Chains A and B, each alone.
Chain A
Amino acid sequence: MIDVLYVEDNPDDVDIFKRVVGKIEQPPSYKVLNTGIEAVDYVLRRGTYQNKETSTPKMLLLDLNLPGNNGFEVLQQIRSHNQGRTLPIVVYSTSDNPKDMREAFDLGANAYLIKPGGYREVSEMLQRAIDFWVAQRGQH
């Protein structure tokens, strides 16, 4: 059972994510994947994850700019399967283009967070997101 599945290809962002999570009092469990294909396989239990024991995360934190399948394709593929229909997906991207935001929501994203680019702001944003999608849900 993991709380957060983080799909991100930028090692710096992953590094900061780990740092932020590490500072949380009751840190959530997480798994980091680097490509969109892996993320889809993981969630839908396909490919290399076909026979492995995986669990549905409480939240998918999804970068848009990914090698291979980008974030939009990940969204589209996950949302087109039953297993992925109820998974909370939070897009986490550098892009502040309204078009990208609209498209992400159209494809079924639950939230869209613009990467603020700074330690203090990133910490606040990630903590709030984890608090909302993981910790709050966990209490129920």
Chain B
Amino acid sequence: MQEIDIQACDREPIRHLGKIQAHGYLLSVDAQTFLIRQCSSNLSVFYPDNLSQVIGLPLEKLQMGDLSGQEITQLIQFALKQSSLETLNPFSVRVQERDYHLIIQRQDDIYLLEFELKDEALFPSTLQNLVSRVMTNLQQSKTIQELLEKVAAEIKLITRYDRVMIYRFDEEWNGEVVAEAKDKDLEPFLGLHYPASDIPSQARELYKINLVRTIVDASERAVSIYPATDNQTGNPLDLTHSVLRAVSPVHIEYLKNMGVRSSMSFSLLYKGELWGLISCHHYQGPRLVDYTARMSGKVISQLLSAALEFRKDEEDLTLVNKLWRSEQTLFEQMQRDWNVVQGLIKMETTAMDITSASGMALLYEGKLYTLGNTPNEAFIRQLIEWLKHTKIDTIFHTHQLPRLFGPAEAHRAEASGVMAIVISRQLEEYVIWFKPEVIQQVSWGGNPDEKPVVAEASGQLRLSPRKSFAKWTQIVRSTSDVWRQAEINTALKLREDILQILSQRANQIRILNEQLKLAYEELDTFSYTVSHDLRTPLASIKTYAEVLLIDYSDRLDEEMLPLFEKIVSASNRMGDLIREILHYARSGRTELSAEPIEMRELLYSLKDELLVSEKGTPITIEIEETPSLKGDKTMITQVFSNLLSNAIKYTRPVAKPHIVVKGVKNADEIIYSVTDNGIGIDMKQGGKVFDLFKRLDNARKFEGHGVGLAIVKRIMQRHHGRVWFYSEPFKETTFYVAIPTH
């Protein structure tokens, strides 16, 4: 299969085509010697015998009909004294009774001299008037659209072309006619799209340098430059800045296919990049808009470019301000308690508000949160998996996700557009925004895919310009509105802020940790003081009271004895209380060392220990199923010791005290119960049971300080377990403790 030279248009040497249009003359003059180096071959009009006579001729010896080379030389010398050629251009000269504009430009080591016919009839007002009219339009237009329409009309008025269009490029360089001023009988092109291939990239580059181009007559043959290459440089003449430059035959063919006889275009730039074109078409005959009128048009296009920048900046700024205000709010929300999830999605302002997205997802600490209209969770996770393997550093965005990621096709209704920021690639934390599919009906000026292949004389196949310009409508699917720069910038800002919050939070936690450590150290000291320094004198009080009771009882009378007994029993109570408080403090603080516990062994030894002091009472303790569990042995022992001694204590008043302990294992936890038939608890007071130092009405006569069950609860909390109870006084009271098995 023969290869098709699809890049032919892109490769055409349009700066060096070596031809000019037929309505003018061109000379290339050596800047040092003023000898003529190249000329347009139509100068043969003045040198019918032999054009080669002109080459190497001193400029002042040239004779173009009634215009002498001496005159031209004087013009150049005059201009050089004034130091600037640009401000003096164009010079007026007469050749064969006709007025010409002479445009002189310095280009490397030559002067480029171009003679173009003058046509003042086409220029109805002075430049000053024109500029002031356009300025008024610029100021009065409320929107960019209105401005474009007014400028199109203004240009049509000046140039009297049949049709003036303003053509705007999208990010892929397809063009769309966004404003149009035309003769009534012409078919409208407004709203039509043109594929990027209609204007090849090197032509677009040229449009950024030379802002005005005209083809006076597409049916006129171009005039070649003689000799084709410069004798001194060996190169063809660079026509980048030429006003007479002929365009490529491909472009001429394109115009002819469109039925255009004469065309002109002005570049519209936005921040140095091509934003669009003012494009003028004439159908009935050739049209020469002369140099000065073209320069007026150029002034307008430059004013428009400036206005575009200003207006676009202004419109963008409004959006930017709105998005950045929302972002600032998000930052403040997150900062409140260093909570990213709370700050981004749980408050009035959410991360949805920093874009125009219709849905969002946050994957954070392994959890997925969504807001608004999003695809299902399974797809979001699939998308994140794909993002992980896509080369993105910080941000990813597309308005055509299904094109990049096939499975997205099924979710195009919610997720044709996606923007994602990476919080942590390692931890798989992302914020993702979704934009829905916007089904667009795009009308093309002809089928953009149609590029007829023709065989060149050389036998090589290449693409010729399009022949069909009939309106061709395409439905564009799986595409969302584009992500605007302001949205992207704000998302990036948000990312920075999230990272800052995370590091602030890490610091804060570190500070809190240090404070907690200090507090614990103080508490340690306090506990130690309590355990030792308070218990030691207390022990002395008790001991000496007992010494009196035991060693000196013979010297004490009947009244004194019970007083010493009271001292002893008060000391006992106080000692117990101190010990229990210590246990409570320790149960919340000491490190948990979880190990498998043989519950059967533990319960039987507790039973034996507790029943020692219950000799002579009819109490029975029954131990049923004892599934083993995992926990801190010291603390778990404390739990059952407290529960059992409570059960014993509160069954003492009943006739047949009976206690049952058993464990049940289910899917997630092991639940132990301690059931007694004692005095029980009024369920109305149930809320107080586990509170520190709270004692219930009916327990008043019993020893105790209201610490035991608080310890049980605290230990259970430390084990991520639960504790609860059920009671029918004097019938059945059961305390339950549950410890998770995982």
Contacts and interface: CB of A to CB of B under 8 A. Distances in A.
A118 B572 CA distance: 9
A119 B547 contact: yes
B532 A119 contact: no
Interface in A89-140: 94-99, 115, 117-120, 122
A99 B590 contact: yes
A10 interface: yes
Interface string B577-602: 00100100010001000000000000
A12 B543 contact: yes
Nearest to B539: A117
Given A97-B586, A98-B634, A99-B590, A117 B532 contact: no
Contact of B531 (A13, A95, A118): A95
A94 B531 contact: yes
Nearest to B537: A12
Given A12-B543, A95-B532, A119 B538 contact: no
A10 B544 CA distance: 14
Interface string B671-693: 00000000000000000000000
- B interface secondary structure, majority: helix
Contact of B543 (A94, A98, A118): A118
Interface string A9-23: 010110010010000
A56 interface: no
Contacts of A13: 536, 540
Interface in B539-567: 539-540, 542-547, 549-551
A65 interface: yes
Contacts of A19: 547, 551
Nearest to A102: B634
A97 B531 contact: yes
B195 interface: no
A94 B546 CA distance: 18
A95 B582 CA distance: 10
B547 A94 contact: no
Contacts, number: 54
Of the listed residues B542, B575, B586, the one surrounded by the most CB atoms of chain A closer than 10 A to its CB is B542
> What size tier do the contact residues of chain A reach?
10 to 19
B568 interface: yes
A118 B546 contact: yes
Contacts of A97: 531, 582, 586
Given A94-B535, A97-B531, A117 B547 contact: no
A94 B537 CA distance: 11
A16 B546 CA distance: 11
A98 B568 CA distance: 27
Contacts of B531: 94-95, 97
A94 B532 contact: yes
B536 A10 contact: yes
Interface centre among B535, B539, B568 (most CB of A within 10 A): B539
A122 to B, nearest CB: 6
A96 B536 contact: no
B654 to A, nearest CB: 31
Contacts of A119: 542-547, 549-550
A119 B545 CA distance: 8
A120 B550 contact: yes
- Most B CB contacts (10 A, CB to CB) among A12, A16, A96, A117 go to A117
Contacts of B551: 19
Given A97-B531, A118-B542, A120-B546, 4 more contacts: A12-B539, A99-B590, A118-B539, A119-B547
Interface of A: 10, 12-13, 16, 19, 65, 94-99, 115, 117-120, 122
Interface of B: 531-532, 535-540, 542-547, 549-551, 568, 571-572, 575, 579, 582, 586, 590, 634
28 contacts: A10-B536, A10-B540, A12-B536, A12-B537, A12-B540, A12-B543, A13-B540, A16-B547, A94-B531, A94-B535, A94-B539, A96-B579, A97-B531, A97-B582, A97-B586, A98-B634, A99-B590, A117-B539, A117-B542, A117-B543, A118-B571, A119-B542, A119-B543, A119-B544, A119-B547, A119-B549, A120-B546, A120-B550
